[in-house]
C-alpha cells in the first residue's frame, strides 16, 4: 500500500516521539527523516503532522510549577515547537531536504479562504521538494476551537491535500479488538474493510497521548469517506516506514472503498 501511494501524510503521536523518561526521542526523529528521504527518492510526496511540542517544552524548562495550567501549557508548546522543528531540520538537512512549518487550528478548516491558502502553501512546498511539517497552533487555540488531537488534524490535512494515504504512527501495532494494554488476549485487526463495521472498546489514552484509539478511528472514518486509505502502525518499530514499504510489518490497514 505504501509502495503504491504517491501522496502520503505521516502523523507522529506524542507517545511515539517521546521516550520512556518523557523526553523527545531524537533517535526516532533521525530514523524517520532517513526513511522520509528514502520515500522521496522513490518519488513519494510526504507531509508530516507531528505532536511533541509540549514534551519538548517540558524537556527544555522543567522548573515551572504551574505547568499544568492552560496558559503555561501553551507557553511550553511555544518553546517546545522551536526545539522540535530544530530537530527535524537538523536531521533532514543531512539529506539536503528543507522543511516548512505550518501551524493550524480547527477553524482554519472551516473557512474557504483559509483552506485555499493552506492548500496553496502545501502544494507549493511539495512542488519545491520541501517537507511540510504541521502541528496544532496551541497559542491561538481555546478549548472550544481546539482540534484536541493531531489524528483529526492529520485526517483533515490528508483530505484537503487529496492524499492517497495517511499513516498514523502510534505506540501500538494497530487496532485491536480491545485495549491491548488492559487485555493480554487482545487481537490485532489487520484489515478494516469497512470502518462503519468497527465496534471496539475505545479505552482511554495514556499520559502524553491525547487522542487514544477513538480519534484514530475518527481519522480513519474521515479518510476512508474521502477515498484515502489509512494505516495505523507502531512508531516504536525501527525502520517502520521501510518495513511498511516492503510489506513486512503487522499493522492495521483501513481500506477506503
- Report the interface residues with ligand ADP, using CB under 6 A: 13-16, 170-172, 175-176, 178-181, 200-203, 205-206, 209-213
C-beta closer to ligand ADP: residue 93 or 193: 193
Burial category of 13 from C-beta neighbours within 10 Å (exposed 0-12, middle 13-18, buried 19 and up): buried
As given in the structure block, the three cell numbers for residue 8 are: 502520503
Q: Min. distance of Cβ 62 from ligand ADP in angstroms?
A: 20
CB of 21 to ligand ADP, least distance (A): 16
Q: Which three cell numbers stand for residue 161?
A: 491535500
Minimum distance between the CB of residue 254 and ligand ADP, rounded to whole angstroms? 13
Q: Do 18 and 52 meet the contact criterion of CB atoms below 8 Å apart?
A: yes
Compare residues 210 and 224 and give the one whose CB is closer to ligand ADP: 210
Q: Report the largest interatomic distance among the alpha carbons of the chain, rounded to a whole angstrom.
A: 50
Residue closer to ligand ADP (CB basis): 161 or 176: 176
The smaller minimum CB distance to ligand ADP, of residues 74 and 210, is found at: 210
Neighbours of 76 (CB within 10 A): 23
The distance of closest approach from Cβ of residue 134 to ligand ADP in the complex, given in angstroms and rounded to an integer, is 15
Nearer to ligand ADP, 36 or 125 (CB): 36
C-alpha span between 194 and 42 (Å, rounded): 30
For residue 101, the surrounding DSSP H or E stretch is strand 99-104
Least separation in angstroms between residue 151's CB and ligand ADP is 6
Amino acid at each position: 500500500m505504501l509502495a503504491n501511494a504517491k501522496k502520503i501524510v505521516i502523523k507522529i503521536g506524542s507517545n511515539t516521539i517521546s521516550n520512556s523518561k518523557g523526553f523527545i526521542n531524537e533517535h526516532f526523529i533521525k530514523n524517520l527523516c532517513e526513511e522520509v528521504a528514502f520515500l522521496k527518492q522513490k518519488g513519494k510526496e510526504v507531509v508530516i503532522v507531528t505532536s511533541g511540542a509540549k514534551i519538548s517544552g517540558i524537556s527544555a524548562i522543567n522548573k515551572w510549577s504551574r505547568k499544568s495550567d492552560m496558559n503555561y501549557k501553551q507557553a511550553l508548546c511555544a518553546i517546545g515547537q522551536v526545539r522540535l522543528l530544530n530537530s527535524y531540520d537538523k536531521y533532514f538537512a543531512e539529506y539536503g531536504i528543507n522543511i516548512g512549518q505550518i501551524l493550524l487550528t480547527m477553524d482554519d478548516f472551516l473557512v474557504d479562504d483559509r483552506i485555499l491558502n493552506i492548500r496553496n502553501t502545501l502544494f507549493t512546498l511539495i512542488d519545491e521538494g520541501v517537507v511540510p511539517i504541521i502541528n496544532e497552533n496551541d497559542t491561538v487555540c481555546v478549548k472550544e476551537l481546539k482540534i484536541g488531537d493531531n489524528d483529526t488534524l492529520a485526517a483533515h490535512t490528508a483530505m484537503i491535500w487529496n492524499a492517497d494515504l495517511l499513516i498514523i504512527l502510534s505506540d501500538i501495532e494497530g487496532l485491536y479488538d480491545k485495549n491491548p494494554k488492559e487485555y493480554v488476549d487482545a487481537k490485532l485487526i489487520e484489515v478494516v474493510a469497512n470502518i462503519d463495521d468497527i465496534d471496539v472498546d475505545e479505552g482511554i489514552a495514556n499520559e502524553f497521548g491525547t487522542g487514544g484509539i477513538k480519534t484514530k478511528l475518527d481519522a480513519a472514518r474521515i479518510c476512508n469517506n474521502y477515498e484515502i486509505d489509512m494505516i495505523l502502525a507502531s512508531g516504536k518499530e525501527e525502520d517502520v516506514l521501510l518495513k511498511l514499504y516492503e510489506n513486512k510489518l503487522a499493522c492495521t490497514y483501513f481500506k477506503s472503498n
